[in-house]
Structure 1
Amino acid sequence: MDPSDMFFRLLASLCLVLLWSANASAGVIEGVGAKKLEVVDPVEQKPMDAVVFFPSPDQTDVSSIGPYEVDVSRSAPIGDDRYPLIMLSHGSMGSMWGHHDLASSLARQGYMVVSVTHVGDNFQDTSRISTAGAIYGRAMQISAALTATLDDPVLALHIDRERIGFVGFSAGGTTGLILAGAKPDLSRLVGYCAKRPDDRHVCEARGRIGVEGAELGASADARIRSFVLLAPLSVLFPTEGLKSVAAPISVYVGEKDEELSPDDNALALARDMQSEIRVEVVPNAGHFTFLAPCSPQMRDAVPAICADPPGVDRVELHRTINAEIAAFFTRTLAVAVP
């Protein structure tokens, strides 16, 4: 046998042994823990709510947190391994618990997830909505939360800093694209709303964006390597503004989305994007289908975001999509081995 062939075979065998050893020593994940994260809003220098979901070796059950039934325990310890990190951005007027089932699902599959409540654009505080400060500030808030997580003396020991991803819903999709390097043209919303004045949550101001916070500008974050966008508000981005985006992107959009036009948003994004992008149109799904399945308390309090079009089983659909999102991150955040 050629000596060089023997060397490469031995090297390959050694790599397999090391890979097996790493898998064998990986801690068993039995549940999901949660920890409050201290974050300061970089725009107004005020505290910002954030929560970290993480894999735990302890078995955990469902906890009632406000109107949500969350698969998490706030007393569970964190596992011993290092985990990829996913940043999670809610839609306009949402909260850090709006996608709790996705966060818990990812944690059970070996991810750490940080979910924030965006200051100035959440269910309790709408002071920045329809302003440039809300659009640009959201991206800055995610970057601030990411830095706070990496600087946390406990969490930092368990994060794989080379494997960081992002999930954003609706306006959170705008946030993700800015973080990926896209440049929005805020004036595009006026033309969009002239065609679709009934898009209530986007076009209440007829597409006019207040100039407050315009000086912040778009700020990409190169630490984030992969993006998942759920029913994204992406009409703000012209083709020219997407040229700097190089990260892989996976998009889900509902066929029956009546809040945001799929053709003008997610599907147009797919046509204009030059980097790797995967788009799935979910049959019969509406805009709010991508929010976590509702508890009975949620259905009573906000039935509009809990009702799905006929033929949609939100629980089963989320089970499928959550698994696909984990698989997407596993592939796109894989660390290349020399």
Structure 2
Amino acid sequence: MFLRLMLVVLFLMLPVAGVNAESIHAVGIKKLEVVDPIDHQPMETVVFFPISGRAEVTNIGPYQIAASKSVAIERGFYPLILLSHGNMGSMWGHHDLATTLARQGYIVVSLTHPGDNFQNSSKMGTTSVLYGRPLQVSAALSAALKDSVLAPHIDKDRIGFVGFSAGGTTGLILAGAKPTLARLVEYCAKRPNDRHVCEAKGHIRLDRPDLAASADPRIRSFVLLAPLSVMFTPAESKLIKSPLLIFVGDKDEELSPDENGMALAKNLGASLQVIANAGHFTFLSPCSPDMSQAMPELCIDPKGINRTETHQRINADIASFFKDTLGVQ
């Protein structure tokens, strides 16, 4: 009898394969009504949040999202994380990170930046995008804090941010740094093959001279994935006082990791993780079969990378960073 009882106790203590002990929630998704402060039109925004019940998968276009629609947020008080995609991206581009954080007790708000997304890139390379993106993130945050469903569950003192590529530029502006546009021209003169960033040779078109860099002090902690950060001088970047965690891939084919994320981390003394064999698009969510067929250039990684396993490590590190910097309730 005693031996049988001990075996039962030992069995209950064993880790369950495939289950993260920190992942205690299923995930829900809902659209959030947000008005773009630049052109005053509706802006596509989605919210990921903890729910009770079992996890489901929702197919949205070529994406397989580990979240359920039309469900209620679980009772509780949660920190909020904002997600900003790269040039020509979308609010679904980092859905696996969003669901990972929501499972661990975060509300995550992800938006599609107008004029700089996969359906409409007409404003790329303009000041309405460079300076508009931070304003759009701030508008999404304000909308979440006013939303009748979300607001009672948001801890407004624990707000974080994740930005990929151009979303890294957005994050640095939100953190209080101001870009020097001539630095991008100088960078592109040396790296004309950085396709998307240097398509206009680094020149930013001044379509909205009324816009300027605008910080958001409500955001306390920042994660930057393969950031476009060359526009910020060392002196300017040192004005940032918020905690930062920076990831770069050493096989990035779109941006120089040395002159962007690595130089930024050195200037700030910020935490840096260099992902061996990772390309620029390795930081996008692992691709479904439909996504691989529709956009293969976003789904093929350099040799030696398993994107799913890499994301499991990165997402866990990001969750740990926010736990440390935003605190745990």
Q: Is TM > 0.5 for Structure 1 vs Structure 2? A: yes
Conserved 8 A contact 1:58-1:76: no
What one-letter code is carried by the residue in structure 1 that aligns with 2:277? Answer: N
Conserved 8 A contact 1:90-1:171: yes
Task: Tell me by how many angstroms 1:302 deviates.
Answer: 0.7
What one-letter code is carried by the residue in structure 2 that aligns with 1:31? Answer: A
1:141-173 Cα distance to aligned partner (Å, 9 max, x none): 000000000000110011111100000000000
Aligned residue in 2 for 1:3: none
What one-letter code is carried by the residue in structure 2 that aligns with 1:106? Answer: L
Q: Which range is displaced more, 221-230 or 232-241?
A: 232-241
Runs of 5+ in structure 1 lacking a partner? 1-27
Conserved 8 A contact 2:25-2:104: no
Query: For 1:211, which of 182, 192, 206 is the aligned residue?
Result: 206
Aligned residue in 1 for 2:13: none
State how far apart, in whole Å, the 2-side matches of 1:133 and 1:71 are. 33
Task: Tell me by how many angstroms 1:215 deviates.
Answer: 2.3
Structure 1 counterpart SS, 2:131: helix
Aligned residue in 1 for 2:247: 252
TM-score, scaled relative to structure 1: 0.89
| Equivalent runs, 1:119-134 vs 2, <5 Å | 119-134=114-129
What one-letter code is carried by the residue in structure 2 that aligns with 1:141? Answer: Q
What one-letter code is carried by the residue in structure 1 that aligns with 2:279? Answer: G
What one-letter code is carried by the residue in structure 2 that aligns with 1:119? Answer: P
Task: Tell me by how many angstroms 1:241 deviates.
Answer: 1.6
Aligned residue in 2 for 1:7: none
State how far apart, in whole Å, the 1-side matches of 2:318 and 2:310 are. 12
Aligned residue in 1 for 2:178: 183
Query: For 1:101, which of 96, 101, 110 is the aligned residue?
Result: 96
State how far apart, in whole Å, the 2-side matches of 1:76 and 1:58 are. 10
What one-letter code is carried by the residue in structure 2 that aligns with 1:123? Answer: F
Q: Which range is displaced more, 296-305 or 235-244?
A: 235-244
Aligned residue in 2 for 1:263: 258
Aligned residue in 2 for 1:83: 78
Structure 1 counterpart SS, 2:123: coil
State how far apart, in whole Å, the 1-side matches of 2:187 and 2:37 are. 30
Conserved 8 A contact 1:29-1:79: no
Structure 2 counterpart SS, 1:308: coil
State how far apart, in whole Å, the 2-side matches of 1:255 and 1:37 are. 36
**Aligned residue pairs, count:** 307
| Equivalent runs, 1:304-315 vs 2, <5 Å | 304-315=297-308
Query: For 1:235, which of 216, 230, 239 is the aligned residue?
Result: 230
Conserved 8 A contact 1:260-1:287: yes
State how far apart, in whole Å, the 2-side matches of 1:313 and 1:32 are. 25
Conserved 8 A contact 1:29-1:56: no
Instruction: Indicate the percent of aligned positions where both proteins have the same amino acid.
Output: 62
What one-letter code is carried by the residue in structure 1 that aligns with 2:133? Answer: R
Query: For 1:287, which of 276, 280, 284 is the aligned residue?
Result: 280
Aligned residue in 1 for 2:15: none
Structure 1 counterpart SS, 2:181: coil
Task: Tell me by how many angstroms 1:335 deviates.
Answer: 6.8
Structure 1 counterpart SS, 2:305: coil
TM-score, scaled relative to structure 2: 0.91
Query: For 1:63, which of 36, 58, 63 is the aligned residue?
Result: 58
